[in-house]
């Protein structure tokens, strides 16, 4: 859809404009963030922008190498100046659901390491309450799938093992784990659900991000942009 493309472009280009020479960046995953990474790569080629990035996924790493963004790891830096990433849902308090690309665990680590975590979305991702449209991805040890599923059902979720679209069998994350998609009717208290899911044995992490985003750039129809900054 042209309106959606324009919205993504607006958010991505505004976020890429935050990047300055000397920065250490977190490079996120997803279609909107990919536009931002290509814009950063263009600035490296054409403006001599001097940056280095840590990728949140194999896909982000591949795109960075393909476009010419220098990479490092978290072993090489003690912090990141700026992390750019997308989200599946954003609520008015700037809590997030992430993980449609199954990279949410690494995304959360990198977001925590960043002084500024900027989330790029189109307006369809902005919701009044988390869980309105998106399931919560839960990254699970393969041998713990059934026990974790039972615990998630007790918390009120409808649970489905995520299967690959281009191959038989479950989606396997970069860590070798599987994904359970837990759909809740609504999530009244994201901070409480965050802790409850994380405490289930066999769970590596999940896609609820509470209090981590410092800014959200919302691309709107026609290419206009709304910027929201956390007040906490």
- Which among 64, 62, 65 has a CA at the least distance from the CA of 84? 64
20 part of the active site: no
Out of 107, 139, 149, 151, pick the active-site residue.
107
Q: Measured between alpha carbons, how far is 226 from 195 in angstroms, rounded to an integer?
A: 31
For tokens 């324009």, name the residue.
6
Left, alpha or beta for 146 (phi > 0: left; psi -120 to 50: alpha)?
alpha
- Residue 180: phi, psi to the nearest 5? -105, 125
- Which among 21, 30, 77 has a CA at the least distance from the CA of 57? 30
CA 228 to chain CA mean position, Å: 17
Q: Measured between alpha carbons, how far is 44 from 26 in angstroms, rounded to an integer?
A: 16
- Which among 72, 94, 76 has a CA at the least distance from the CA of 27? 72
- Total residues found in the chain within this entry: 232
Burial of 75 (0-12, 13-18, 19+ CB in 10 A): exposed
Q: CA-CA distances (angstroms) from residue 35 to 13, 122, 228? A: 7, 13, 20
Active site positions, annotated: 107
């Amino acid at each position: 859809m042209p309106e959606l493309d324009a919205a993504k472009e607006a958010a991505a280009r505004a976020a890429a404009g935050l990047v300055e020479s000397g920065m250490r960046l977190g490079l996120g995953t997803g279609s909107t963030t990919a536009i931002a990474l290509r814009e950063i790569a263009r600035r490296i080629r054409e403006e001599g922008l001097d940056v280095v990035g840590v990728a949140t996924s194999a896909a982000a790493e591949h795109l960075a190498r393909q476009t010419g963004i220098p990479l490092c790891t978290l072993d090489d830096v003690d912090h990141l100046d700026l992390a750019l990433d997308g989200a599946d849902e954003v609520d008015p308090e700037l809590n997030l659901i992430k993980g449609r690309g199954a990279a949410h665990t690494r995304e959360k680590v990198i977001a925590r390491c960043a002084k500024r975590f900027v989330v790029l979305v189109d307006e369809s991702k902005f919701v009044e309450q988390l869980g309105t449209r998106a399931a919560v991805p839960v990254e699970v040890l393969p041998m713990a799938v059934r026990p974790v599923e039972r615990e998630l059902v007790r918390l009120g979720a409808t649970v489905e093992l995520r299967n690959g679209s281009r191959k038989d069998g479950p989606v396997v994350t970069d860590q070798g784990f599987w994904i359970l998609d837990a759909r809740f009717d609504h999530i009244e208290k994201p901070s409480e659900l965050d802790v409850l899911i994380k405490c289930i044995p066999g769970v590596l992490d999940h896609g609820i991000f509470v209090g981590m985003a410092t800014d959200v750039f919302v691309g709107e129809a026609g290419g206009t942009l709304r910027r929201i900054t956390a007040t906490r």
